[in-house]
Structure 1
C-alpha cells in the first residue's frame, strides 16, 4: 500500500510554497545584474505627451502622427486604446506606471506595435518601449501596479494578437510590461525575419527568395503574461541574433519559445542565414500553469548558439521542452520534394546552466501528443478522453492538437531531440544534443518513479513497474488564489489501496474529494483516528483530497 506522510517539518516547508512565485522572484533580486545588449542612445528632443483617459480613447492616429513627424521622445500618459503603430528609428516610448493600454482589434485580431515587420517596411534601429517610473525588480513582474499593462483581452481565443512584432530592427529594448492575453495565437511578442518571394510562381522549392534581416542586438526583460495559449504564450523567437531574454514569466503557454516559424519554411535550409537564431541568452525564465517555461524547436533551420540559465516551472507540463528538427508541412511531402535542399533543423550549441526546477502541479496545459509520457498506471490501455475528459478542454484548441487544461505535470525536462540519455543524436533525423552538465535539475512534488528528464524513446514506459501510487501535491499550483494556511500542528497520512482511501486524522475533520476538473465527488465528516473511504464507485483517474481541520487545510493528490 503506497503511503504519503504529512509531518510537521513537511508542513513548515509547504506553507512557504504557497508564495512560491513571490519567493522565487524575490530570490532573483539577489542575482548579479545582467549586462544589456541594447545601447541606450536616447530618444532625442523634448518629450511629447499623449494623454489618455478613463474611457480608453483611441490614440492610434495621434501617436502615429507624432512618430511620422519625427517626434522621438514620447510619453504615454493615461489609459488609452492603440491599433497598429508603425515604429521608426530612434523612437523611445515611455509608458506611465499603472497605465492600461487596450489593443484595438478587428474580428478578434490585432497588433499594437510593429517594427520592420513587413517586406516593404524600412529597417529601423534604436527603438525602446519602457517605463521610467516602474520598478526594475523581477519580484514585481506579476504586479500590474508596478508595470504598464497591455490589455489584449478583446482578442478572440485562437486568433492572431500581438503586443509587439519585430523584423528588421537593430538595437532595441522592451521592458516592464504586464500583458493580459485571452488565449490568442501568435505570441504577445514575436521576433522574425522577412522573406521576399522573387518569383511568386511555380512550386515553392523552385522559386528565388530573399531573406531580409532579423532582429539584432536587443533586450526583452521584466515582462509578465497571463492567460497564454498552450501553443503560444509570451514570446516567440523565429529568428534573431545577439538578444537577451531576462526575467520573463508567462502564466499559460510558453514564456520563451525559441521556434522557427512558417514564414521561412520555404527557404532552403542552407540559404538565408538571417532566418536563423544565434547568440541568444535566456535568464530567469518562469512558466506557471502552462506548457513549458522554455521550448526549443528548430523546424527546418540550422541555428547557432543558445544559452539558458535558471529556468523555473510551476505546474506546467515541463520546465524545458527540447524538440527535434523536422520538415515543415509547407514543403514536406510535395511532389518531387528536394530533400537535398530542405533538411531537418537543429541547434548548433545549447548550453543550460544554473537551477532548472519544476514544481509538480495538476494545473498544466497539455497537448495530446504528450499523453504517452504520463505514468503507465494513469494511462495504460486508456485514451486521452478517458483520463482527461472533454469536460475540461483547453479554451482555444488549435490545429487538432486536442489540448487540455488542469492536467498533471510530466517532467522537468522533456528531451525529445534524443532517443535516450546514452544515444548519439542522428543529424539526418533532426536530432541534437544540449549541454546540461552545468545545470542542477530539480523536481519537487514529483513521484520518485518519474525521471527528471524524459527522452523520446520513453513513450509508454514511465513508471511502468509501479501499479499504484500517489503523487505529492504542491498546493501553490492548484490554489490560484494562494491562500495562506498554517500546517504547523498537523500530522496526517493518506494512503490508497484497491480503491480504498485510508486517512489517518489527528483531529476531527471535514474531508472533501474532488475530481480533476474540480467537481465535488464525496464529502465526509470524520473523527480523529483512521477513516476508510470506499472508492469502488469512483472512476479511475486523478482526485484531490482536501482535509479541513480547525481552519487549516491540507490538499493531496491521489490516483485511482
Structure 2
C-alpha cells in the first residue's frame, strides 16, 4: 500500500512538472510572438523609447527680424522684371538692418530670388508664386527662392501673412506649370542658420526635383549647412514619384511639421547628392519630423543614407492613404557617384519612427522595382499599364506599411546587401486590410516568385 502511494506521489509530481514546463513554454511563445496588440492583425505595437528628440519650436527658430515693413512694388502678371525688382528691395532693406517685405495679392513669376540676413518675406494668401520661364530655359534647372547658396545667412523667413495659422485658406499659393526646363525648386536652403518656411500650398505638374531642398551650398563644405530651422504647414499636390515635397541632403537641428503631399514621397531624408558623398562626414543630424502625410503617392517618409553614416532622425505621426507604403527604410549603398567615398551609409540607431497610420487602397504610385511584391496577375496588369504623367510610375494598390531592407529582420548583411542599420519603429495602425501583403513590413524576401516575364508594350500600343 505504501509502495503504491509512493508511486502515486511520484506520478503526480511528474505531471505537475510537465504542466509547469508546458505553461512556461507557452509563455515564452507568447513573448516571442509578433508585436501585434492583443493579436489584433491591424495593430503593431512596436518598440518604445524614452530617449526622444524634443519638438518645441523655440528650440529650432527664434524671430530676430526687425519689425520694419514695406510692400514689394512688383508689376505682377508674370512680368519678367519682377525678380530684379524684388532682389533690389531685399538687398536695400538688408543693408538697412533688415525687416519685413510683404508681397501683395497677384501672380508673380520669379527666379533666383536671393534672400539675405534679417529678411522676412510675408506673402498674401491671394498671391500666386510661379517660376519665371522666360528666355532660354530648355533643360535648365530653376530655383525660385535661393537661401544661402553663395554666402552665409541668418535670421531668414518666408511665410504667409497670418503666420502660424494652420488653415490652408490663409496660406500663399505656388504653381509649377509644365515647361521645357530641367526641374524646378520652390526653395533651396544652403548655408543658413535660424530660418523658417511656412504656410504654402503648391500645385506641381509632376516636375523633377522636390520643391523644398536642403543641400550643400556652392562651397560644397559639409560644415556650411542649414542649421536651426522650421519648415511647417505645407501642402503640395501632383508630385513626381521620384521626388516630393522635401528632400533633405543636409540639415542640423531642423523641425519639419504638418507637411502634406499628394504623390511622390512627402519627406526624403536621402543624402545622395554627389557633394554629400565625397567623404563620410555626417550632413544630417537632430532632425525632428511631426505630422507628415501622403495621399496617392509612394510614401510619406524615406530614410536613405547612400554612402554616408548619418545622424539622428525622430519621426512621429505618419499618415499614409492609398499609397505604396507609409515609410521606406533603405540600406546604404554605393550609388552612381563613382568618385564618392567607399562606404555603405547608415542612420544613428537612436533614430525613431512611430505612430504610423496607414489606409490601404487603390491609387498608389507604384514604381517598377515594387512590381515584384504583387501577385503574378496583378504584376502583369501593372507592367501593361501606361505610365502616369511622371513617366515613371503606374497606378496600383498599397503594398504594406513599411518597406525595409536595412535591418536584421530584412536579412540585411553588411557589404553584401548594403549598409545595414536598425532604427526604432513604434506603433503602426492599419485602418483596413486593403494591402497586397498581410504583413506590416515589406522585406526583400516578400517578393512573389515564379511569375512569367512580361514585356511592357511599346508606347502608343
Q: For 1:244, which of 255, 260, 273 is the aligned residue?
A: 255
Are residues 1:101 and 2:129 paired? yes
Please report the TM-score for the alignment, with normalisation by the length of structure 2.
0.77
1:39 CA displacement: 3.2
Residue segments in structure 2 that go unaligned for 5+ positions in a row: 1-53, 452-461
Equivalent position SS for 1:347: coil
Alignment pair present for 1:268 and 2:279: yes
**CA positional deviation for 1:167:** 0.8
Q: Secondary structure at the match of 2:347?
A: strand
Residues 53 and 458 of structure 1: is their aligned pair in 2 closer, same or farther, counting only changes over 3 Å? same
User: What is the TM-score of this pair, normalised by structure 1?
Assistant: 0.64
Greater Cα offset, 238-247 or 108-117? 108-117
The separation in 2 between residues aligned to 1:268 and 1:46, in whole angstroms, is: 43
| 1:146 to 2:146 alignment | no
Distance between the aligned counterparts of 2:163 and 2:219, measured in 1? 40
- Cα distance in 2 between the residues matched to 1:448 and 1:395: 24
Query: CA distance change for structure 1 residues 266 and 39 in 2, over 3 Å: closer, same or farther?
Result: closer
Contact 2:398 2:436 in 1 (8 A): no
Is 2:312 the partner of 1:285?
A: no
Q: Secondary structure at the match of 1:70?
A: helix
The structure 1 residue matched to 2:246, chosen from 235, 240, 246, is 235
Root-mean-square deviation (CA, aligned residues, Å) is 2.7
Partner of 1:64: 87
> Are 1:453 and 2:441 matched, yes or no?
yes
Alignment match, 2:390? 396
Instruction: Provide the secondary structure at the position in 1 that maps to 2:263.
Output: strand
CA change 1:406–1:330 in 2 (3 A) is same
The 5 Å alignment of 1:43-62 reads 43-44=65-66, 46-52=68-74, 55-58=77-80, 59-62=82-85
| Counterparts of 2:304 and 2:207, CA distance in 1 | 20
Deviation string for 1:470-526 (max 9, x for gaps)?
xxxxxxxxxxxxxxxxxxxxxxxxxxxxxxxxxxxxxxxxxxxxxxxxxxxxxxxxx
Judge conservation of contact 1:311–1:357 (CA < 8 Å) in 2. Answer: yes
Greater strand fraction, Structure 1 or Structure 2: 1
Equivalent residue number for residue 209 of structure 2: 186
Distance, in Å, in 2 between the alignment partners of 1:102 and 1:196 is 28
Q: How far off its partner does 1:183 sit?
A: 1.1
Q: How many angstroms does 1:156 deviate by? A: 4.8
CA separation of 1:236/1:36 partners in 2, compared to 1, >3 Å: closer, same or farther? Answer: farther
- Judged with a 3 Å threshold, the aligned counterparts in structure 2 of structure 1 residues 372 and 443 are, in CA distance, closer, same or farther, namely farther
Q: Distance in 2 between matches of 1:112 and 1:97?
A: 18
Q: For the Cα contact (< 8 Å) 2:60–2:253, is it kept in 1?
A: no
- How far, CA to CA, are the matches of 2:179 and 2:408 in structure 1? 39
Q: Which residue of 1 aligns with 2:232?
A: 221
Given the superposition, is the C-alpha separation of residues 257 and 424 from structure 1 closer, same or farther in structure 2, using an over 3 Å criterion?
A: closer
Matched with 1:111 is: 143
Distance 2:409 2:376 in 1: 18
Residues 42-90 of structure 1: CA deviation (Å, up to 9, x unaligned): 4325211114566343421111001122343211012222111111111
- Superimposed CA distance per residue, residues 81-101 of structure 1 (whole angstroms, 9 cap, x where no aligned partner): 211111111111111122111
Maintained 8 Å contact 1:315/1:361 = yes
Partner residue in 1 for 2:160: 131
Per the alignment, residue 396 of structure 2 pairs with 407
CA–CA distance in structure 1, aligned partners of residues 277 and 313 of structure 2: 24
2:265 equivalent to 1:254:
yes
Measure, in 2, the Cα distance between the counterparts of 1:167 and 1:407: 37
Question: Are 1:169 and 2:192 an aligned pair?
Answer: yes
- Between the aligned partners of 1:461 and 1:443, the Cα distance in structure 2 is 28
- Over residues 176-223 of structure 1, what are the superposed CA-to-partner deviations in whole Å (9 max), with x where a residue is unaligned? 0111111111210100123758xxxxxxxxxxxx53411111000000
In structure 1, list runs of 5 or more residues that go unmatched: 1-31, 198-209, 380-385, 398-402, 465-560
Structure number with larger C-alpha Rg: 2
Q: Secondary structure of 2:225's partner?
A: coil
CA-to-aligned-CA distance 1:282-334 (integer Å, 9 cap, x gap): 111001111110111000010011101010111111000111101121127xx
SS at match of 2:427: strand
Distance 1:38 1:177, change over 3 A: same
State which of 136, 142, 151 in structure 2 corresponds to 1:122: 151
Q: Shift in Å at residue 449 of structure 1?
A: 5.4
Any runs of at least 4 consecutive aligned residues in structure 1 with deviations exceeding 6 A, and if so which?
none
Name the CA shift for 1:365/1:355 in 2 (closer, same or farther; >3 Å): same
8 Å Cα contact 1:412/1:443 also seen in 2: no
2:249–2:271: 8 Å Cα contact kept in structure 1? Answer: yes
Kindly state the Cα deviation for residue 416 of structure 1 after the two structures are TM-superposed: 1.7
Q: 1:311 is matched with which residue: 318, 328, 344?
A: 318
Following TM superposition, by how much is the alpha carbon of 1:35 offset from its aligned partner in structure 2, in angstroms? 2.7
Q: Residues 162 and 186 of structure 1 are in contact (CA less than 8 Å); yes or no, is this contact kept in structure 2?
A: yes
Deviations 1:359-395 (A, max 9, x none): 112111121111112245633xxxxxx3225542032
- 1:60/1:308 Cα in 2 relative to 1: closer, same or farther (>3 Å)? same
Larger mean CA deviation between 128-137 and 288-297 belongs to 128-137
Q: Distance in 2 between matches of 1:408 and 1:448?
A: 7
Aligned residues: 387
77-86 vs 222-231, which moves further:
77-86
